[in-house]
Amino acid sequence: MKKHCYFEGEAGVSAFSTLVGFNVCDYAGADPKQVAADRQKLAEITGAREIFIPRQTHSVRVGRPDDDLHGVDALVTDIPGQLLCINTADCLPLLLYDPKARVIGAAHCGWRGTVGRIVEATMLKMQELGAKPERTLAAVGPHICPECFEVGDEVAQQFPPTSVIRRLGFKPHVSLFEAVKIQLPGVTFVNSPLCSMHDSRFYSVRRQGRELSQRTLSAIIIPS
Ligand SMILES: [Zn+2]
């Protein structure tokens, strides 16, 4: 399992995104045997006691690991050993960590979830567990960059104007990263985004096609 790391265990947390060739998403049409084998590998490599993979539906629902995870697009926990997983292929995976409260969060931020303010909802759910935005660190996983993310006007209109790029004679482009940052005042981002379309180490539906059955995993865990 090759991975791109944001936090290593010594920071009190581990967070990473996986590279092409590894997939634990079972609802995009992947071979169930491959998914089972990769989930086994994930457990071994992370040392997770439990792995939580929500059935994402572009909702704005934030859950706890023990909830029914169907239709959940973000998770928060303060329990060590629980690996929170988000699967994407151009959408923005967001991983959050408050080192003092020892609370983590993971959110799937596509355009619908982002305009529905799933990012803000995730931070609020972490605050219920004692997290504070001004202490929280954020890692942003690979997602479609503003240069690549052309959208229709009906989509662009739903975004804050500072996250929309308009050029005369061209369709609007959107920065998911800007739109996410706006919802996290006080939070410190630890890395610069990589583009899933430009960078072939990651899965991209826009580059590889709608029938793409695999997804990039972004995950975070407080080691137990
Ligand atoms: Zn790009």
Q: What pLDDT shows up at residue 33?
A: 98
CA angle 198, 203, 205 (to 5 degrees): 85
Tokens of 3: 């991975």
Q: What pLDDT shows up at residue 11?
A: 80
CA of 143 to the centre of ligand 1 (A): 8
Q: What pLDDT shows up at residue 52?
A: 98
CA angle 107, 206, 18 (to 5 degrees): 50
Tokens of 48: 């997770």
Q: Tell me if 201 sits within 8 A of 21, measured CB to CB.
A: no
CA of 176 to the centre of ligand 1 (A): 12
CA of 177 to the centre of ligand 1 (A): 12
* Strand partners for 63: 75
CA of 147 to the centre of ligand 1 (A): 5
Please state which architecture CATH assigns to domain 3-221.
Answer: 4-Layer Sandwich (3.60)
Tokens of 102: 């020892």
CA angle 48, 53, 59 (to 5 degrees): 145
CA of 148 to the centre of ligand 1 (A): 4
Kindly list the protein residues that place their beta carbon closer than 5 angstroms to ligand 1, a single-atom ion.
145, 147-148, 195, 197-198
pTM above 0.85, yes or no: yes
* Strand partners for 177: none
Q: What pLDDT shows up at residue 138?
A: 98
CA of 82 to the centre of ligand 1 (A): 32
**Domain map (residue ranges) of the chain:** 3-221
CA of 97 to the centre of ligand 1 (A): 26
CA of 47 to the centre of ligand 1 (A): 33
Distance CA 43, CA 129 (A): 25
- What residue type is 67 in one-letter code? D
- The separation between CA 71 and the C-alpha centre of its own chain, rounded to angstroms, equals 15
Averages of pLDDT over runs of 10 residues in the chain (224 residues) are: 90 95 97 98 96 98 97 98 98 98 98 98 98 98 98 98 97 98 98 97 97 97 94
β-strands 62-63, 74-77 pairing: parallel
Distance CA 88, CA 18 (A): 11
β-strands 82-88, 137-140 pairing: unpaired
Q: What pLDDT shows up at residue 174?
A: 98
CA of 129 to the centre of ligand 1 (A): 35
CA of 142 to the centre of ligand 1 (A): 10
